[in-house]
Amino acid sequence: MCGRFALSKSDRIDWSQFGVRRGPTLPPHWNIGPGRDLAVVRSAGKEAEVAWLRWGLIPSWATEASIGGKLTNARAESAHEKPAFRSAFRQRRCLIPADVFY
């Protein structure tokens, strides 16, 4: 994913296409970056749920939470191998509604 993205047509989100029964009404945002709280769709057992998570990855070995803003991009070819991304890649995935990225 790129360093910034936008959700300009938030009123058009069809949450049911993600397996969510009812999702929140989100205001449009045009400059979403690392450190921001986001509505994401994630697995909750056999169903999906909308959760508010902060954008940024804090690896288990990190000593400061500020590293989360520095680990925002990973190469798709090697994310499953790198120590910083490996565990999250295997166990904690989510969908982020977005319609613009830059």
Which domains occur in the chain, in start order? 5-98 (3.90.1680.10)
Percent of all residues in the chain with a pLDDT value above 70, rounded to a whole number? 94
Q: Which residues contact 67 (CB under 8 A, 6 or more apart)?
A: 58, 59
With vertex at residue 6, the alpha carbon angle to CA 102 and CA 45, rounded to the nearest 5 degrees, is: 110
Mean pLDDT of 62-66: 77
The type of residue at 12 is: R
**Alpha carbons 36 and 63: distance in angstroms, whole number:** 20
DSSP characters over 26-81 = ---EEEE-TT-EEEEEEEETTEEEEEEEESS---TT-S-GGGGGT-----TTTTTT
In tens, the pLDDT along 13-47 reads: 888 888 898 888 888 889 888 888 899 998 888 88
